[in-house]
């Protein structure tokens, strides 16, 4: 590929994000109930676990409160993401497995493939046709 050309896969991923599909997929995953609970969503579970882990970290090292906010945030984030979200898991919920099952869900994958194919087909059509479709002049 010449220097200024954008990799089609990168462009497709960028378009996917720009259209809000990434956020939509993320929100769909986060709003699902955690296994074993009908009322606790994954988002609520993660928030609660982050709060608990941060409280534990501050109890272990109170100097975290007085450090630079950026370095403290980076340290906390590193601990949360370390070892496949190990610190976010509980005895009853393995967060990594839960997320992996969501990503491996055939319905999720099919929806993702459908959107990507549609975007790819739109990207492959001539610019003039795309403009006509957008303007509703067909």
- Write the pLDDT tens digit of every residue in 49-82: 999 999 999 999 888 888 888 888 888 888 888 8
- Write the pLDDT tens digit of every residue in 85-138: 888 999 989 999 999 999 999 999 999 889 888 877 876 655 444 443 444 433
pLDDT of residue 83: 80
CA dist 138 and 128 (Å) reads: 11
CA dist 90 and 92 (Å) reads: 5
HSE-CB of 84 using CA atoms within 13 angstroms: 8
Read off the pTM: 0.70
pLDDT of residue 12: 82
Task: Tell me what percent of the residues of the chain surpass a pLDDT of 90.
Answer: 30
Domain boundary assignment for the chain = 1-30+94-125, 34-92
């Amino acid at each position: 590929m010449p220097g200024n050309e954008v990799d089609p896969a990168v462009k497709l991923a960028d378009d996917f994000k720009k259209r809000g599909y990434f956020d939509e997929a993320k929100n769909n995953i986060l709003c699902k109930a955690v296994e074993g609970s009908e009322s606790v969503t994954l988002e609520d579970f993660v928030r609660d676990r982050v709060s608990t882990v941060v409280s534990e970290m501050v109890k272990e090292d109170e100097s975290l409160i007085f450090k630079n906010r950026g370095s403290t945030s980076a340290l906390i984030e590193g601990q949360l993401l370390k070892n496949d979200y190990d610190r976010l898991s509980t005895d009853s919920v393995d967060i990594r497995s839960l997320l992996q099952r969501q990503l491996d869900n055939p319905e999720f994958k099919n929806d993702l493939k459908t959107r990507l194919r549609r975007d790819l087909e739109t990207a492959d059509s001539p610019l003039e046709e795309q403009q006509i479709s957008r303007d509703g002049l067909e």
